[in-house]
Amino acid sequence: MTEYQKPRVAAQVAVALLETLRLVDRPGEVLEDEIIARTMPRRLGLSRVVERQIEVYREYSRQGRKLSTEELAEFVKLVNKRPDAARVFFKMGDRLANEQLPSRKRWLPRSGRLVLVKRSIVRTLARLFGQRMGGFVSGPFALEVSASPFVQLDSSGDACELVTGFCQRALRRGVDEGMTVVKLSCETKGARSCKWSAKG
């Protein structure tokens, strides 16, 4: 078994992606008697296949089962076919952080909360994806990831938005609701590493 086939990715990652697709594809207004699965069959996130897969991966999650990088790659390819791929990955990261990370410890000063959130980001991403996802360098919030698995799975760089959404939600839950995360560089654009910073 190659590293690519080794089960290491938490099933929660697949659940978050599929649930995000369902959320993004749900129309803003739904008539009371409308059956979305019939009236909007082209919306992948609303298909019965996705509903079934959500239940399958939820059960995997309860059992503690892992996915391989190869399986994760198939999910990434599924999203990359969409024109709104970057938005889907961002919202997926937001969902994962909201579910996996603790909320703000209000009794701590801001600097203390920031330290805890940065530690939680590194640990949680490593737990979810079965490998260390970079680390923080000098500065209030400067995340750097080299040889990112997302870059290896997606040459467009859209999948990296998962990290952007994850970090932004983590900071808003744990430090300050007004914080925003921006991506400064990407390996897919020729940079040595992917880098993120935060403001607010």
- DSSP string for 73-87: HHHHHHHHTSTTHHH
Percent of the residues in the chain that have a pLDDT greater than 70, as a whole number: 88
Q: What is the pLDDT of residues 124-173, one digit of tens each?
A: 999 999 999 899 998 899 999 998 888 888 989 999 999 999 999 999 99
Q: What is the pLDDT of residues 12-32, one digit of tens each?
A: 999 999 999 888 887 654 444
pLDDT at 103: 73
pLDDT of 10 over the 80 cut: yes
pLDDT (average), residues 66-87? 91
- Phi, psi torsion values for 152, nearest 5 degrees: -70, -30
Q: How far is CA 74 from the centre of its chain?
A: 15
- Cross-strand partners of 196: 143, 183
- DSSP string for 111-174: HHHHHHHHHHHHHHHHHHHTS---EE-SSSSEEEESS-HHHHH-TTSGGGHHHHHHHHHHHHHH
pLDDT tier at 4, thresholds 50, 70, 90: low
pLDDT of 42 over the 50 cut: no
Give dist(CA 115, CA 93) in Å, integer. 20
Which range has the worst mean pLDDT, 11-20, 30-39, 65-74? 30-39
pLDDT of 34 over the 70 cut: no
pLDDT of 36 over the 90 cut: no
pTM (2 d.p.):
0.87
- Cross-strand partners of 135: 144
